[in-house]
Amino acid sequence: MADEPGEPVEARCLVAGEWRTSRDRAERVGPYTRRVVSVGHLADPAMVDEALAYAHRSRATVERVSPAARAAVLERAADLVDAQRDEFARLLALELGKPIKDGRGEMVRVADTLRVSAAEARRIGGEVLPTAGWERGVGTTAMTYRAPVGVVVAITPFNAPANLLAHKLAASFAAGNPTIVKPPPQAPAVSVRLVALLLDAGMPPEAVQVVQGGAEVGSRLCASPLVSAVSFTGSAGAGAAVARTAGPKRLVLELGGNAATIVCEDADIEAAAAMSAATGFSNSGQSCISVQRIYVHTSVFDGFTEALTAAVRGLRVGDPLEAATDVGSMVDDQAASRVETWIKEAAAAGATVTCGGTRDGARLAPTVVCEPDPGAALVAEEAFGAVVVVLRYESFDDVVEVCNQSRFGLQAGLFTQNLARVFEAWRRLEVGGLVVNGTSNFRLDHVPFGGVKDSGIGRESPRWMIDDYTVTKTLLLRGMSIWGDETSSGM
Ligand code: NAD
């Protein structure tokens, strides 16, 4: 061990400006240390309802915080995140088994996300519309502005609990809304620590509350008529349940994927293999855009597979608290066991496992599986674990079709020097984003991110989230034209 984990962190609920304890508690056992690292205080239905009522009453208070003041809070919070990066990374390692280097990387992104949200808070405005361009509009002026949507519910998954919370809460606050956060049961302490930091930075208590718990707590929030928008990140199945429960509310669903990366014959094979190894196994492959399916042109297949296997063997596996560790553990034994079963099934059906394939509790050795059956769970479902599969293709036209057979469509990667192919893939691949000369696993927090098909709806990143967290309100002035065209024949 790099150091001892210390006393478990109490992760309370934050309701109506007070940190609340609960008799109903859930211990979080760190998947690597196998010790209790945090204790979530679970909200009962009465506490959830109290949070909903308080958020609803707080709408006007939060709206009245000026965009300049909202931006200043978020910028101060970003500075605090920079100062506390290592403490957060340590907590991420303890609660999730996430290597400390990945945790630091996540916190660098949290600070970016907060600063980008601050910048967007300053840009919220409206439009004067060209009403006089149509006969019935002559003699009128129409203007719009973006008003806060109302109470926002933010439900986050375990794999990037700090940055995904930052995306939801910061953009919602930037837009002037009260937010209720429902953190993942696997990372209650990281989540409350980030909320506490935002309060320290000056976020008013009316703007944020936290209710701990699982699907029942999330579901009660989504069902409430007091809620105007739900921003959910998690699995496709849970996202579908959220959509059913929420009904006609603003919905942003950031769901799962089985991301494909295509390596063409003109690619830099060594670079593609090195990047695939690094981004297929960061956080043990537990990222929605982690490299899962690598389609390699048949002419470079053997060289790529060899280089990839060597690079994966070179990854440092071990204690997530050690600075040099590349791969710590998966989130829990069940998740690692599911992926191990899928690997064994693929191997039994004829695939070749070129490295890994073994498991100790939540620690799954980084695994490369070559040429599994296209119908294997490892290809068709979301693996969300320390495994990548390598598949052979012959024509670019075919590989695009094969990629599109997935029920998911979040992001894809493409290694090629051929610009015509880049445009063709950008147009034809059924995904929300394409990364060229990189794998699927790359995200900038200020560009739109999100999926199609079962990977979700909406685009997360502050500018686009603010569209979802605001409503366009129109003002129509009859007989008062900013265009000077005083007479209207319209009725
Ligand atoms: P999960 O679906 O099990 O849980 C996500 C969150 O939803 C948790 O807070 C959970 O308590 C809550 N929840 C579960 N069922 C619910 C319900 N019926 N109503 C309301 N809330 C409910 O997901 P997870 O295992 O924590 O995270 C992994 C999943 O998240 C993967 O599928 C991954 O691809 C996806 N993910 C997507 C993105 C993205 O941006 N598209 C980013 C990260 C993770």
Q: What is the pLDDT of residues 44-91, one digit of tens each?
A: 999 999 999 999 999 999 999 999 999 999 999 999 999 999 999 999
Per-residue pLDDT for 489 more than 80? no
Environment class of 235 (CB within 10 Å of its CB; exposed 0-12, middle 13-18, buried 19+): middle
Nearest CA to ligand 1 atom 35: 234
| 81: alpha, beta or left? (left if phi > 0; alpha if psi -120 to 50) | alpha
Count helices and strands in the chain by DSSP H and E runs: 16, 25
Q: Which residue out of 230, 231, 233 has the highest number of ligand 1 atoms within 8 Å of its CB and is therefore the one to mutate?
A: 233
As a whole number, the mean pLDDT across the chain is 97
Rounded (5°) CA angle 420-422-424: 70
pLDDT 10s digits, 89-105: 999 999 999 999 999 99
- Predicted confidence (pLDDT) per residue in 106-148, tens digit: 999 999 999 999 999 999 999 999 999 999 999 999 999 999 9
**Is residue 158 within 6 Å of ligand 1 at its C-beta?**
yes
pLDDT on residue 3: 57
User: Is the predicted pLDDT of residue 2 greater than 60, yes or no?
Assistant: no
**Mode of pairing for the β-strands spanning 36-41 and 151-155:** unpaired
Residue 235 CB less than 6 A away from ligand 1: yes
pLDDT (average), residues 463-468: 98
- Cβ–Cβ contacts within 10 Å for residue 418, how many? 15
| pLDDT confidence of residue 485 | 77
**Which residues form the catalytic set?**
254, 288
- Indicate whether residue 81 lines ligand 1 (CB < 6 A): no
Task: Give me the amino acid identity at 165.
Answer: L
pLDDT for res 1: 42
| Residues 277-324 pLDDT 10s | 999 999 999 999 999 999 999 999 999 999 999 999 999 999 999 999
DSSP 412-465: EEEE-S-HHHHHHHHHHS-SSEEEETS-S----TTS-B--EETTEES-BSHHHH
pLDDT at 483: 82
Token reading at 93 = 């390692």
Ligand 1 centre distance from Cα of residue 128 (Å): 40
User: Model-level pTM?
Assistant: 0.97
Please state at what angle helix 188-200 crosses helix 85-96, rounded to 10 degrees.
Answer: 160
Average pLDDT, integer, range 377-398 = 98
Cα of 314 to ligand 1 centre, how many Å? Answer: 31
